[in-house]
Structures are given as C-alpha cells and as structure tokens.
Chain A
C-alpha cells in the first residue's frame, strides 16, 4: 500500500508579550506535519511541545463550549478547538482577538470585557421581589418559549462577534452583538419584570442597538450560530416602538 504523504503546515503566529518591555509584535512561523483529524488545538499543542514552550494560548473544554480558544484564524475570529486544519490551506496565520486585553501571544482576557458588559446590562433576572423565597415554585413557562430563551442562552462569551464587529472597532463603548443578544434573552424571559422603558435606557442609544450598523460580521462569525441578526432587528423595532409610546 502506498503511504500518502501528510501535508506540512506552515503556521504563522503573532507573538508578543505585553509585559516584556523589550518585546515587540512579530510573526513567527512553525512547520508541523498535519495529522489525520487535526484541529488547531492539537497543532498548537504540538508547537508548544516540540518547538517553543513559551507560546501562550488558551483552551479549556476543547469542544467549543467554554469560549476560551477564540482567535483570528486567517483574519477571521473563530474557535481554534473547532477548526480542522484540513479545512485550511497549508499557510495558516493566527493572531489574538483584537480589542480585548492581551495576555500574551494568542491569549486574551475576554473575561474583563464580558464582566463589564454583564454588570452594565444587568444580565440577571429582575423579578422585583423584595425577599428571596427559595421555597416558592417558579412560574411555569411554555416549552416553545423556554426553547427560544435557551437558543440565546447558548452564547459562550467567546468574543468572536466583538472581534468581527466593525462598529466596535471605531467605538469601543458599543456593547456589540453579545450584549444585544443577552438583552434579547432577558427581554424574552417572563420572569424578568423590567419594562420596555427600562430596557430602552439600557440599549436605546448609540452604544446600544442604535449604534449597530447591520454589517453582520457578528452573525457570520458566531461559532454557535446564534440568530444575532434577527434579535438585533427585533430589539431595534421594539426600541423604536417604545420611543413612540
């Protein structure tokens, strides 16, 4: 049986340690042999193991559910653990997501941004009850509605949509599709008793839904395929309606 030669991948990585005053951003290329079913996660580990153990990158779940491995792959924000090298050419470029705080190389601190976002939008149920009663049964919800909420709840805060959004590049205060998606999620939830006016005060401005220019980079890069376009349009209509009341 003739043995098929595996491809040699040339992986160029943007290297930079912001804590090292001597360092400056530069590209470094590694050559590794592609293996069957290889993902970028496997490739990066191979590089760290055999070529350079100082390479920084993040992974936790390796299954597209924790959102920590997001990076720019050939310029497009995506999850490295979900990306098969066989889907890419032999020349692959990797860079950290822009906008977030850089820890080093491919590792960014998305948590800081996301925490600010969640505090700012108060992404928790506002039920208006004075006291917490853990014995009280929760109100029932229609399964269809629960499904719809769950659909939006699938966001893994990976930050890909933020990196793919042209608006945020120009205006960093913009809450992005991840923020708008969260608002849509709480607005759907009947347990959240916030009024439309309260929601308007959260997102009825240029940092919120009216800042979005419908470029839909977010929708196209979201690794969880969340219906971002639809939800942003929905919030926009709702906010306009609220403003006309």
Chain B
C-alpha cells in the first residue's frame, strides 16, 4: 500500500498534554505527602527535607537538587499550560456560549470541565509564584523556614488558593484522563465510570483535608516562631541535650 503522509502534530500535542498532566498530578500527590510530614512532627519533616537535599547519599545537603527538581517541574508545568491553552475558550463569545451550554445542560462532567479550566487559569499565576520561590530559595524548606514563609512572608493566602486549585484541577484531570484513554474501562463502562467518579471525589476530599491540616500546622508553627523568623530548625539530638544538662 502506498505510504500516506499524515500530520503528526495534533497527536503529539494531545499526548504531551495528557502525559505532562499525569506527571504533574502524580507529582502533586507525592508532594502533598512530603509536606504533610509536618503533621508527624518537625523532626520527621526535617529528615524528609534533608533526604531530598541528598544528605543521606552524599553526607552533606545540596539544596541545588531541589532547584533542579523544581526547575524540571516548572518546565513540565509551562509545557502543560501551553498545550492545554488551546482548549480554552478563545474569546469572550465562545466563553459565553460555553457558560450558557453548561448552565442549560446541567451536566456534571461538563461543569467539572469548567472548573478545570478555571483552576488551570488560576494556577498560571499561583503555581508560577510558588515554583519560582522554591527554585530560587531551595534551602528555605524545613519546619521553620517553610512555616516562616507561610506566616511571616505572607504566603498563606496564596497557598489556600493554590491548594484548592491544585487539588480540584488534579483530581478532575486524572479522572478525565482515565475516561479519555479508556483506562479501567472494565466490561460495564457505565459502572466503572461511576466508580471512577466516586473515587475522584474521595481523592479530592482526602487531599484537601490533608492539605488544610498541613497548612494549619505550618501556620501554627509560623505564628509561634514569628519572633525568631529566619532562624533555622535544628534537630535536637541526644548529645546536645546531654550537653545542655551538664
């Protein structure tokens, strides 16, 4: 059969959008677990931070690792935003038509899409600010440093919005990815879609709860540590304690 030329770009863009979205969503879930270690105590969070700075591999911490990781995520974030942008309503008229359609159809998944566009748009700004700060201040992660950033440096309003946006965008996105590519389809697709939707709500609620508890923990530490803002956390080791007693 003769070879037919095809334009591969639309397929590539679609694939890139899905793949970058999947990476970002999985990263966000993992990230949430790391930051929430503060709920297990300052020491645990401190150890996790040191782990990511490579202290357990190199014997010394290298915050540059965090910069590189945040930079990589930033690049994926930008790529994802760029390709996803083509799905946004391109002018006010289209937006109005879509809004009207959503209202009159009153269809859950279509409405969820609207939320995804909205939260995605919000993240252009919120996510960029956060990623930039982490990239440029990689060593400022830790029980005190992070809490100071939240409270003293006034990041908590941004984090509240970012948390809402990320968790809604991510879980709706993953749900839609599953439908889009036919994952977990099963033999009864109606039933599996129903289950997927329930799972999606459960995941959103779980991560929002965890997220807000975590944020509350940092806010508490931040307020207590306000007078000494800027001071770094140090693990209180046994020897130091003994030394102090002598």
- Our verdict on whether A and B bind, yes or no, reads yes
Q: Which residues of A contact B (CB under 8 A)?
A: 72, 75-76, 98, 164, 166, 169-170, 195, 197-198, 200-201, 204-206, 210, 212-217, 220-221, 227, 229-230, 232-234, 236-237, 239-240, 242-244
Residues of A within 8 A of B14 (CB): 210, 236, 240
Give complex CA distance A239, B217 in Å. 48
Inter-chain contacts of A240 with B (CB < 8 A): 11, 14-15
> In the complex, which residue of chain A has the Cβ closest to the Cβ of B180?
A214
Q: From residue 163 to 219 of chain B, which have CB atoms closer than 8 A to chain A?
A: 176, 179-182, 185, 189, 193
* Cross-chain contact A243 with B8 (CB below 8 angstroms): yes
Q: In the complex the two chains form, is A164's CB within 8 Å of B107's CB?
A: yes
Interface residues of B: mostly helix, strand, loop or mixed?
A: helix
A201 contacts B98, CB within 8 Å?
no
Chain B residues 218 to 233 lying within 8 A of chain A, measured CB to CB, are: none
Number of residue pairs spanning A and B whose beta carbons lie under 8 angstroms apart: 103
Q: Is A233 touching B109 in the complex (CB atoms < 8 A)?
A: no
CA distance A242 to B10 in the complex (A): 12
Asked whether B11 lies within 8 Å of A213 as measured between CB atoms, the reply is no
Q: Are B105 and A237 in contact (CB under 8 A)?
A: no
Interface-central residue, B14, B179, B189, by most chain A CB under 10 Å = B14
What is the CA–CA distance of A205 and B97 in the complex, to the nearest angstrom?
23
* A233 partner, pick from B6, B11, B101, B180, beta carbons under 8 A: B180
Starting from the known contacts A204-B11, A210-B14, A237-B181, 20 additional A-B residue pairs (CB-CB under 8 Å) come to A75-B104, A76-B106, A166-B101, A166-B105, A166-B110, A166-B113, A169-B97, A195-B1, A197-B4, A197-B6, A200-B6, A201-B4, A205-B10, A215-B113, A216-B179, A229-B193, A233-B180, A240-B15, A242-B6, A243-B11
**Measured CA separation A82–B4 after assembly (Å):** 45
Q: List 19 A-B contacts (CB under 8 A).
A: A164-B105, A164-B107, A166-B113, A169-B94, A200-B11, A201-B4, A204-B6, A204-B7, A210-B11, A212-B180, A213-B113, A214-B180, A215-B113, A216-B110, A232-B180, A233-B182, A236-B14, A236-B181, A242-B6
Q: For the complex, is B79 an interface residue (Cβ under 8 Å from A)? A: no
Residues on A with C-beta less than 8 A from B7 are 204-205
Question: Which B residue sits closest to A225, measured CB to CB?
Answer: B190
Q: Which residues of A contact B107 (CB under 8 A)?
A: 76, 164, 215, 217, 220-221
Are B109 and A234 closer than 8 Å at their CB atoms?
Answer: no
Q: Which residues of A contact B31 (CB under 8 A)?
A: none
B13 in the interface (beta carbon within 8 A)? yes
**Cα of A205 to Cα of B7 in the assembled complex, Å:** 8
Contact assessment for A206 and B105 in the assembled complex, using a CB-CB cutoff below 8 Å = no
B102 contacts the other chain (CB 8 A): yes
**When chains A and B are docked, how far (Å) is the Cα of A91 from the Cα of B104?**
15
Q: Compute how far the CA of A220 lies from the CA of B107 in the bound complex, rounded to whole angstroms.
A: 9
* Contact present for B181 and A233 (CB under 8 Å): yes
Does B12 touch A at the CB level, under 8 Å? yes
Nearest 5 interchain pairs by C-beta: A233-B182, A243-B11, A197-B4, A75-B104, A214-B180
Prevailing SS type, chain A contact patch: helix
Residues in A with CB closer than 8 Å to B110 are 166, 215-217
Q: Is the CB of A76 within 8 A of B105?
A: yes
A72 to B193, CA, bound (A): 25
Distance, CA A212 to CA B181, complexed state (A): 11
Task: For the complex, give the distance between the alpha carbons of A181 and B102 in Å.
Answer: 23
**B238 is an interface residue with CB less than 8 A from chain A:** no
The answer, yes or no, to whether B41 is at the interface (CB within 8 Å) is no
CA separation between A234 and B180, bound complex, in Å?
9
Interfacial chain B residues near A201, Cβ < 8 Å: 4, 6
Q: Tell me the smallest distance from the CB of A231 to a CB of chain B, in Å.
A: 9
Chain B residues whose C-beta falls within 8 Å of the C-beta of A200 in the assembled complex: 6, 11
Give the contacting residue for A166; candidates B86, B98, B185; CB below 8 A. B98
CB proximity of B176 to chain A, nearest CB, Å: 5
Partner of A227 from the list B87, B97, B189 (CB cut-off 8 Å) is B189
Whether A169 touches B98, Cβ cut-off 8 Å, given contacts A72-B104, A229-B179, A233-B185, is: yes
Q: How far is the CA of A126 from the CA of B165 in the complex (A)?
A: 48
Q: How far is the CA of A232 from the CA of B176 in the complex (A)?
A: 13
A201 to B110, CA, bound (A): 28
Instruction: For residue B179, give the distance in angstroms from its CB to the closest CB of chain A.
Output: 5
Specify which chain A residues have a CB less than 8 angstroms from the CB of B89 in the assembled complex: 170
Taken together as a complex, chains A and B put the C-alpha atoms of A15 and B29 apart, in Å, by 51
Nearest to B101 among chain A residues (CB) is: A169
